[in-house]
Amino acid sequence: MNTFILLGPPGAGKGTQADLISAELGIPKISTGDMLRSAVASKSDLGNRVEDILNSGKLVSDDIIIELINDRINQSDCKSGYLFDGVPRTLGQANLFLQNDIEVKKVIDISLDDELIIKRMSGRRFHIASGRSYHIEFNPPKAEGLDDDTGEPLIQREDDFPETVKKRLEVYHAQTKPLTDFYKLKASEGSMSFISINGNQSVDEVFSEIKSYLYK
């Protein structure tokens, strides 16, 4: 089974690469960020509980995340594999993955410096329904302000405003960055493999490095 985690700071390009990997391998992308935003948009109980947390750049609790993931991977489209985009993002979640026997064979870490992240976030435009992201300069849609596949309008995410991006970066360094060492250790023990990729390259260049790893 093809089972992957995409790790990396906010804005490193995880969502962009997740869409390309998903199309390449025919496996679903599982993005907890997309799932939570969709809950907020539909004003469900979960959405109402997490809306303020998302807008502040803090993390939703590990219990909510593991419940979402367990439900999602039991759906039929995950039978031949799946790609986690932005989850796990705390050591607590990584340990819950192990306790729940959630299979992961390969971990792809995309790295990018904080200054470049801030630049990318300010130009990001987002299609909420699909999770597709664009950049006004680096990765523009075919028609300005519109999603390539649906033609629907793109938005700027509330958590992409500069003060919230700073908070998200603080949270990343404190709570998510330690996962790189956690998975490097697992890889050295032989239970999975790990690769780190320089995110400061074009979308195609990053994908080309990832693609050669997918089939190893």
Q: Is 211 among the catalytic positions?
A: no
For the chain, the residue count is 216
| Smallest separation (angstroms) from ligand AP5 to the CB of 90 | 7
Closest to ligand AP5 by CB, 27 or 179: 179
User: With the CA atoms of 20, 24, 30 and 34 taken in that order, what torsion angle do they form, in degrees rounded to the nearest 10?
Assistant: 30
Lookup: tokens for 100: 């729940």
Q: Using the minimum distance from each CB to ligand AP5, give the nearer residue, 47 or 123.
A: 123
The 10 Å CB-count burial string (b at 16+, else e) for 53-87 is: bbeebbbbebebbbebbeebbeeeebeebbbbbbb
Cα→Cα distances 45→49, 50, 64, 158, Å: 6, 9, 12, 20
Instruction: Give whichever of 52 and 80 is closer to ligand AP5, judged by the CB atom.
Output: 52
Q: Quick one: which of 207, 212, 213, 216 has its CA closest to 18?
A: 207
* Half-sphere exposure for 13 (CA within 13 Å, toward CB): 26
Residue 168 is a catalytic residue: yes
The single residue of 72, 124, 125, 132 carrying the catalytic annotation is: 124
Which residues have CB under 8 Å from 43's CB, separation 6+?
Answer: none
**What is the C-alpha separation between 37 and 53, in angstroms, rounded?**
11
Closest contact distance (angstroms) between CB of 192 and ligand AP5 is 18
Min separation Cβ 190 and ligand AP5, Å: 26
- Residue number of the CB atom closest to ligand AP5: 33
The question of whether 157 is a catalytic residue gets the answer: yes
Q: Which residues here bind ligand AP5, judged by CB under 6 A?
A: 8, 10-16, 31-33, 36, 53-54, 57-60, 65, 86-89, 93, 120, 123-124, 133-135, 138-139, 159, 168, 201-203, 206
Query: Which residue, 11 or 81, is less far from ligand AP5 as judged by CB?
Result: 11
How far is the C-alpha of 117 from the C-alpha of 30, rounded, in Å? 22
- Our answer to whether residue 89 is catalytic in this structure is yes
Q: Which is nearer to ligand AP5, 57 or 81 (CB)?
A: 57
CA angle 112, 114, 115 (to 5 degrees): 105
Catalytically annotated residues: 14, 89, 124, 157, 168
